[in-house]
Amino acid sequence: MEADGPQAETFYIYVVGNSSTSGALTSNVIARNLGGILHYVHNHIIGSCPRKYGIDRIRRFEVTVKNTQSLYTQRSGSQMGPFMDFQAGQCVSEDCNKTWQRYGYVVGCKKRSSSGYKPAWYSFPGECPNTPLAFKSEDCAFDFPGGECDEVTGGRDCTFSSWKDAGEVLIDELEGRNQTLGLQEWCGQGNREYDPDIDAGLGIDFWDKKEDQTFINERMYKLAYLFWKKFKSFATRVTEPCDQEEHRRLSSS
């Protein structure tokens, strides 16, 4: 049944991190769905020793989103806004200002159905979304408040809640690597998490066959299982608003 206005949705988003990122930004950033974070790790993080950016874990957050009536009205019933790219805390897409002015500080998403991971990206415009992290100020935050708030209303500056920590899974435990050795030492013995030239790992097989749907499904299942096993106070299944948005768009085309 078609919604008759903006709806509040609570769901999980995922980002990568390490031991020093517990206080990382929770707005003016890009987050991903479960398949999206695995797609990112598989394509951009593993394979080198050390891993790129020192990444060693996948962090999960719970967030509530309710976008604006302006978005819903002007985009034919859309619940999610257009995706905006962020780099170093700054929106770098061409239509950043136009989007905020037209709809308010809406949360956006985009989905890539061509990958077996079915990755989705979510954008969260916070304070001073058009300003690089190093140059944000109190004055800027007052003039450009962004969409983060405590109790989501769907107002132009209140479209998403502060992220709630919903646990983390270390990449080592996800892939089943021998944790008695540090990654550097393990690689020094000739092992690799994943080598794209052979589409397989050396000394480990979790990341083998990157595009094989059966292997992709097993990786996604294991990550979901570990979050369930370690953090049972959180819901096992939640909505995927970008999936719903894609279904709505395809149904109306």
Q: How is residue 52 annotated by DSSP?
A: G
Distance CA 215, CA 48 (A): 21
Give the pLDDT confidence score for residue 166 in this predicted structure. Answer: 94
Over residues 93-107, mean pLDDT: 95
Contacts of 8 by beta carbon, 8 Å cutoff, 6+ apart: 64, 65, 66, 152, 154
Residue 23 pLDDT > 60, yes or no?
no
Helix (H, G, I), strand (E, B), or coil: what is residue 18? coil
pLDDT at 249: 64
What backbone torsions phi and psi does residue 88 show, to the nearest 5 degrees?
50, 40
pLDDT of residue 22: 61
- For residue 31, give both structure tokens: 């987050």
Q: Establish whether the linkage from the previous residue to 82 is cis, with ω within 30° of 0.
A: no
Q: HSE-up of 4 (CA within 13 Å, CB side)?
A: 0
pTM of the model: 0.92
Give pLDDT tens digits for 132-152.
888 889 899 899 999 999 999
Percentage, residues of the chain above pLDDT 70: 93
pLDDT reported for residue 134: 85
Tokens of 132: 């690089």
How many Å apart are CA 34 and CA 232, to the nearest integer? 17
- The reported pLDDT for the residue numbered 1 is 47
Rounded CA separation 139/122 (Å) = 27
Q: Which of 8, 7, 41 is nearest to 223 (CA)?
A: 41
Residue partners of 11: CB distance under 8 A and separation at least 6: 62, 63, 65, 238, 239, 240, 241
CB neighbours of residue 150 within 10 Å: 7
Provide the pLDDT for residue 20: 78
DSSP H or E stretch at residue 123:
strand 120-124
Which tops the pLDDT comparison, 132 or 83?
83
